[in-house]
A and B are shown apart, each in its own frame.
Chain A
Amino acid sequence: MSKTQQAPGGVRSKGLADYLNDENVRAVIYQIIAIGLVILAGWYLVSNTLDNLERQNISTGYGFLNLEASFGISESMIDYTPRSSYATALMVGLLNTVKVAFLGIVLCTIIGTIFGVARLSSNWIVRKLATVYVETFRNIPVLLQLFFWYAIIPGAFPAARNALQPLPDVLLTNRGMYIPVPVADNAYDFMGIAAILAFVVIYFVKKWAAKRLDATGQPFPIFWASVGILVGFVLIAYIAGGAPTEMDIPELKGFNIRGGYNISPEFMSVLIGLTIYTSTYVAEVVRSGIQAVPNGQWEAADSLGLKRSVSLRKIILPQSMRVAIPPLTNQYLNLTKNSSLAVAVGYPDLVSVSNTTMNQTGQAIEAISIYMAVYLGLSLITSLFMNWFNKKMALVER
């Protein structure tokens, strides 16, 4: 924070020295120097790079994205074969990143909140156990944890022939977990549409409930009503669609398991590692959020005769949310960024696919620029969403 404008001293004509001593003139000079240095450095780097690329006969540009990728990707949420283009391959990687990050965020929030609350429990042993959990997993590098889970998970389960069956039709093998999934049917599309419709209806019911609460003071069980609407809509769509019951059940055929949905050991280790590691940070955020709520709020709740669990849920947590959301956003971003470590255990995330692309095409700059831009974009979207949420929560106060 530098000084702002200073009154020009006196009326005498200024010499060069006076100009150089003028704050504003200096500021301009500093900025010109700074920009000049940046441009110079940029020009130096770019010209070197262009020279090097020319010498190595590497063409620049994103044209390679339309070429055939000709490498396999072990898991994909969209149709992908080695004949697909690099652009499709990168899309697969991006979707895999989003999948693991999204599930990780959901899980680490749940687990982190549980442990954060447990660290404040009046129960001594619960408190200590939660502390041990948080301190242990927080102080071990996340990459080491990923390696650990990746070493343990395939090793802990038998080969496909002797697959474990913890639940009917769920198979555990060293190639991951296989779960049954419904065979594709039109009814499921209807159900998706019905779910979207249900959310629209819920939105209007919520508005109506708030209006009624203002007008009559009568509360409306909005949570259970929403659940009811959602379940009802989806169920009706399911029955209307012919109620398909056919399932794709994983079965041992030859030396391998066919059918079902495969959750790979790579995915599992990345998800477990990221979730556990980030949940310790979330726990600390939740704990400090709760501690930031003044004690008087607990006492007020007590004096209203509320149970501890009710006061925690209805009075303390909503208030602590406001304190917790900004650091929570940071943790979500960290988890998303850390999902790039998936490359170390062979989960085909964006970075992993980009690296393969980079090795095959030599388009290092393009590949790196793509994933950097994507992560920047993801970070930006997450912070925008969380800022919006933050504002919404802050308004609740008054």
Chain B
Amino acid sequence: MATSTQLPPGPNGSVGQRAVIWVRRNLFNSWFNSILTILAIAFVVWIVPPIFEWAVLNATLTPTIEACRETTGACWGFVNANLRLILFGVYPFDQQWRPLLAMIILIGIIVASLAGVRYPRLQKLILPMWIVGIPAIAILMWGGMLGLTYVQNSSWGGLPLTLILSTIGIVFAFPLGLLLALGRQSNMPAIKTLSVVYIEVIRGVPLITVLFMASVMFPLFLPDGVSIDKLLRAQIGIILFTAAYLAEVFRGGLQAVPRGQFEAGDSLGLSYWQSMRLIILPQALRLVIPPTVNSFISMFKDTTLVVIIGLFDLLGAVKLALRSDPAWTRYYVEGYVFAAAIFFLICYSMGRYSAYLEKELRKGERR
């Protein structure tokens, strides 16, 4: 980068000397930077010790309200006492191993799929894993067979709900987005117009209005007597919304494939779908893996909005736990920090993965 100065590799001199050089170069190379450094250090000294004191030194993990009242630090006891409520919502207490297992399976499939981009041998397993995995998760969550008691989806909640909404969201939004992107690139005016209108309208409104539409207007759309439950309606809203964004990501990929590739397909006498499937899409999709991961991240964060229409995802479950006992209500900071830490952990690692992919894929191109 233009402004950052790198230390030349392995200068002679003791560690102490090298450290002095490093500090001079990176912290005090001009009067302006010296002032900035002092201000920044002052800021760190001002902010870090109190936070550390609050979060660690004076904090308590004991899951009782008494312990929390005694401490001046953070009351992680709130999280400790309500951990299962926060993680699994109101899912029947003695059955909570099921969402836990479902969550582990889901994370396993996602991680394997993401790793599959790098390891070709794993790639062939991705599709079968999803085909087996999704029904397995459904059976675990709903039950009603194999000796599992039936749990209706209005009692699903917490982290598994967050994960399910976002994963199912992307799995179904993916093909829909692909169709829309192809539609937008098509030569057929009617199909192109329909795709453009869909994409632009959905991208022009906030997700929450789509969710309200799903929760308030959707029942009006259906014939008398037919009803779809709230969770499914929210899920449909999320899918319809994400598809529009993914469509634009895919369009970028399609546009980046050189024209010659399309012509090559034509000259081989391949039909539209053949050349798409065999030549264009593999290249286009590969190009857009990083932005697709980014879409997944933003969608994962956006699933929290289902709180507003009354579903208890991870964030909703934290609010639920805060309300569960009036004594706990004042420990909202701890609750939100805990939820934030989980979201941060997941989103940050996906973000790193996406950055790594970007580098990896570019490396292949440069060769």
Residues of A within 8 A of B (CB): 1-4, 27, 30-31, 34-35, 38, 45, 48-49, 51-53, 55, 120-127, 129, 135-136, 138-144, 147-148, 151-152, 290-291, 293, 295, 298, 308-309, 316, 333, 337-338, 340-341, 343-344, 351, 355, 358, 364-365, 368, 371-372, 375-376, 379-380
With a cutoff of 8 Å between Cβ atoms, the chain B residues found around residue A355 in the complex are 212
> What 20 new A-B contacts, CB under 8 Å, besides A121-B36, A139-B343, A375-B205?
A1-B187, A27-B188, A38-B194, A48-B220, A49-B221, A53-B220, A120-B4, A122-B5, A124-B27, A125-B44, A141-B301, A141-B315, A142-B301, A144-B304, A144-B315, A151-B332, A309-B32, A340-B209, A351-B206, A365-B217
Q: Please state if B304 and A143 are interface contacts (CB–CB under 8 Å).
A: yes
Pairwise interchain contact B344-A376, C-beta atoms closer than 8 A: no
Which of A120, A341, A376 meets B201, CB within 8 Å?
Answer: A376
Residue B272 lies at the interface, judged by CB distance under 8 Å to chain A: yes
Given A123-B26, A152-B333, A30-B191 contact (CB < 8 Å): yes
A136 to chain B, nearest CB (A): 7
| Sample of 20 A–B contacts (CB below 8 Å) | A38-B194, A48-B220, A48-B222, A55-B224, A122-B3, A122-B33, A124-B27, A125-B37, A125-B41, A125-B44, A135-B348, A136-B344, A139-B351, A140-B340, A140-B347, A144-B339, A148-B336, A148-B340, A368-B216, A379-B203
Give residues of chain B (348-362) contacting chain A, Cβ–Cβ below 8 Å: 348, 351
Q: Which residues of B192-224 are within 8 A (CB) of A?
A: 194, 201, 203-209, 212-213, 216-217, 219-224
Complex CA distance for A344 and B262, rounded to whole angstroms? 48
> Is A337 in contact with B188, judged by CB distance below 8 angstroms?
no
Docked pose: A162 CA to B19 CA in angstroms? 51
Whether A375 contacts B188 by the Cβ 8 Å rule is no
Contact A351-B209, Cβ < 8 Å, known A27-B187, A49-B220: yes
* Inter-subunit contact A143/B191 (CB<8 Å): no
With both chains docked as a complex, state the minimum distance between the C-beta of B309 and any C-beta of chain A, in angstroms: 11
Contacts of A309 in B (CB 8 A): 32
Residues of A within 8 A of B188 (CB): 2, 27, 30-31
User: Is residue B131 within 8 Å, beta carbon to beta carbon, of the partner chain?
Assistant: no
Q: What 4 pairs across the A-B complex have the smallest Cβ distances? A: A139-B347, A337-B206, A124-B26, A31-B190
The A-B contact count (CB < 8 A) is 178
Cβ-closest chain B residue relative to A316: B2
The verdict on B145 contacting chain A, using a C-beta distance below 8 Å, is no
Residue B59 interfacial (CB < 8 Å): no
Q: How far is the CA of A123 from the CA of B201 in the complex (A)?
A: 44
Q: For residue A149, give the distance in angstroms from its CB to the closest CB of chain B.
A: 10
A-facing mask of B130-166, CB < 8 A → 1, else 0? 0000000000000000000000000000000000000
Cβ proximity bits B11-46 to A, threshold 8 Å, 1 near / 0 not:
000000000000000110100110011001101100
Q: Is the CB of A52 within 8 A of B351?
A: no
In angstroms, Cα B336 to Cα A142, docked, is 12
Of the candidates B185, B223, B308, the one whose C-beta lies within 8 Å of that of A343 is: B308
Q: Does B307 contact A (CB under 8 A)?
A: yes
Tell me how far the C-beta of A234 lies from the nearest C-beta in chain B, rounded to whole angstroms.
Answer: 34
**In the complex, what's the smallest C-beta–C-beta distance from B139 to chain A, in angstroms?**
29
Q: Judging by beta carbons under 8 Å apart, are A364 and B336 in contact?
A: no
In the complex, the answer to whether A129 meets B43 with C-beta atoms within 8 Å is: yes
Q: Is the CB of A31 within 8 A of B189?
A: yes
Given A52-B224, A143-B304, A143-B315: A120 touches B217 (CB 8 Å cut-off): no
Q: Mark B30-74, 1 if CB is under 8 A from A, else 0.
A: 001100110011011000000000000000000000000000000
| Chain A residues whose C-beta falls within 8 Å of the C-beta of B221 in the assembled complex | 45, 48-49
Contact status A123-B33, CB under 8 Å: yes
Residues of B within 8 A of A351 (CB): 206, 208-209, 212
A340 to B309, CA, bound (A): 13
Q: Which residue in A27, A364, A380 is a CB contact (below 8 Å) of B204?
A: A380
A129 to B40, CA, bound (A): 8
- Complex interface: chain B residues within 8 A of A122 (CB): 3-5, 26, 29, 33
